[in-house]
Amino acid sequence: MKNMLITGGCGFIGSNFIRYLLKESDYTGRIINLDKLTYAGNPENLADVQKEYPKRYIFIQADICDEPRVGEIFDSYRIDGICHFAAESHVDRSIVKPDAFIQTNIVGTFNLLEAARSRLGQTIRFHHISTDEVYGSLGKDGYFTETTSYQPNSPYSASKASSDHLVRAYHKTYGLPVTISNCSNNYGPYQFPEKLIPLIVLNGMEGKSLPVYGDGQNVRDWLYVKDHCVAVWMIMKHGKNGETYNIGGDGEMANLKLVEMICDILDETNPLSDRRSRRDLIEFVKDRPGHDLRYAIDYSKLKQDLKWHPEVTLETGIRETVNWYLQNRSWIDRVKSGEYQTWIKTHYC
């Protein structure tokens, strides 16, 4: 691959992936980052990269649903590989207003597949980023494998499931070279503070209440974002054409326990002025409708075939993440105040 199209590269995982590819991996080609800059996209996440790699990093503000524009980008930049992150990604938002999830996650993925299919002679390798949520919910035991049947329970996961099926179908029907990865909950630097971990860290830093849905016993498997990036790049390089790989973090934990862990780390590193324990800030709030009870990933295929395993334990990763948010208050302030949108307007228009 010489000209890799990365969609959604200004979001949380996409920006971590671009930084990893340019600064730490053995990828030597160009990156074309196509991002619509929705509320979740923030070019400031890659401001350092833009400065350091002016020849190898190109940013284009565009919508993956805009078919002619996508085609133009494929041709102008001679795209020969795609890593497709762009999506509406927040489950709660999909429950309130699913429309954009259907457009971006399904129609947008379809557009990219069509763009690749109509240039089949050029061999465009397509990697699709998906989620463990497509498999539905586990009970107390068991793990999702690559052959677990799909049972999505939210508009978000249903839209991601649809896009996975389209990617698979384009491989089976048209011979498009594809790989798919389904990973668990990511956490780490640059995550938009609508998701559980950054929300709790930020509210905790400010001594605000810490909302926990239901009884807090829902379990997620937490994957440090850098470990995810390493896995994706390995799959793009060495994964078998047409295959799906699960990526897990060995980090299963109930939400309440995780929130308590963050409270304790914050109390230790950044105590409240009145020395109150942050655990007192925990507030049990109305549950999410259709809230999946438990996700857990069996990633043995990736371990056996590509020798990947997660390096960062949950305790270490959470400490590093809390530390990152503590040290990046101006990023937080701009994201929260909406000032980053002003930055976009002044910089790109």
Give contact residues for ligand NAD (rule: CB under 6 A).
7-8, 10-14, 35-38, 40-41, 63-65, 85-89, 104, 108, 129, 131, 160, 183, 185-186, 192
> What does the alpha-carbon distance between residue 84 and residue 94 come to, in Å, rounded to a whole number?
20
133 assigned to active site:
yes
Q: Which of 88, 133, 164, 260 is catalytic?
A: 133
132 assigned to active site:
yes
With H, G, I as helix, E, B as strand and everything else as coil, classify residue 56: coil
User: Any residues with CB less than 8 A from the CB of 295 and at least 6 apart, and which?
Assistant: 132, 133, 135, 137, 138, 144, 184, 185, 219, 220, 221
For ligand DAU, give the closer residue by CB, 63 or 132. 132
As measured in angstroms, the least distance from the Cβ of 183 to ligand DAU is 7
- Binding partner of residue 73 among ligand DAU, ligand NAD, none, CB cut-off 5 to 8 Å per kind: none
- Binding partner of residue 91 among ligand DAU, ligand NAD, none, CB cut-off 5 to 8 Å per kind: ligand DAU
As measured in angstroms, the least distance from the Cβ of 149 to ligand DAU is 17
As measured in angstroms, the least distance from the Cβ of 194 to ligand NAD is 9
- Binding partner of residue 245 among ligand NAD, ligand DAU, none, CB cut-off 5 to 8 Å per kind: none
As measured in angstroms, the least distance from the Cβ of 18 to ligand NAD is 11
For ligand NAD, give the closer residue by CB, 232 or 256. 232
Q: Which residue is nearest to ligand NAD (CB)?
A: 11
Name which of 30, 27, 5 is nearest 81 in CA terms. 5
Site of interaction with ligand DAU (CB under 6 A): 89-91, 131-133, 184-185, 195-196, 199, 211-213, 218, 220, 255, 288, 295
User: Any residues with CB less than 8 A from the CB of 5 and at least 6 apart, and which?
Assistant: 32, 34, 73, 74, 77, 79, 81, 82, 83
- Binding partner of residue 155 among ligand DAU, ligand NAD, none, CB cut-off 5 to 8 Å per kind: none
> What does the alpha-carbon distance between residue 173 and residue 165 come to, in Å, rounded to a whole number?
12
Name which of 105, 287, 311 is nearest 228 in CA terms. 311
DSSP 290: T
Query: Residue 131 CB: number of other CB atoms within 10 A?
Result: 22
As measured in angstroms, the least distance from the Cβ of 292 to ligand NAD is 13
Q: Which of 132, 164, 221, 292 is catalytic?
A: 132
For ligand DAU, give the closer residue by CB, 22 or 197. 197
User: Any residues with CB less than 8 A from the CB of 25 and at least 6 apart, and which?
Assistant: 233
The residue count for the chain = 349
10 Å CB burial of residue 341 (0-12, 13-18, 19+) is middle
Residues with catalytic roles: 132-133, 156
